[in-house]
Amino acid sequence: MRVFDIDMQHCPNCGAGELKIIAAILERPVIEKILTHLGLDPQPPPRSPARE
């Protein structure tokens, strides 16, 4: 099954074996710290204006 363009049936590193979810991180400060550590922007992109 593909979710968010991630194939959970195959490891992206070796191509074999299934991936397993080991955690769900929901706290915003923790998410921001992880993204910053990875060199990614922790702020979400601005919302587009609503269509009329």
Provide the pLDDT for residue 2. Answer: 54
Provide the pLDDT for residue 14. Answer: 82
Report pTM. 0.56
Dihedral (Cα; 24, 27, 33, 35), 10-degree rounding:
50
Contact status, residue 42 vs residue 35, Cβ threshold 8 Å: yes
Render each residue's pLDDT in the chain as its tens digit; 52 residues.
Answer: 555 677 777 777 887 777 778 899 999 999 999 999 999 999 988 999 998 8
Provide the pLDDT for residue 39. Answer: 95
Provide the pLDDT for residue 35. Answer: 94
Provide the pLDDT for residue 1. Answer: 54
Domain ranges of the chain: 2-37
> What's the rounded Cα separation, in Å, for the pair 52 and 12?
40
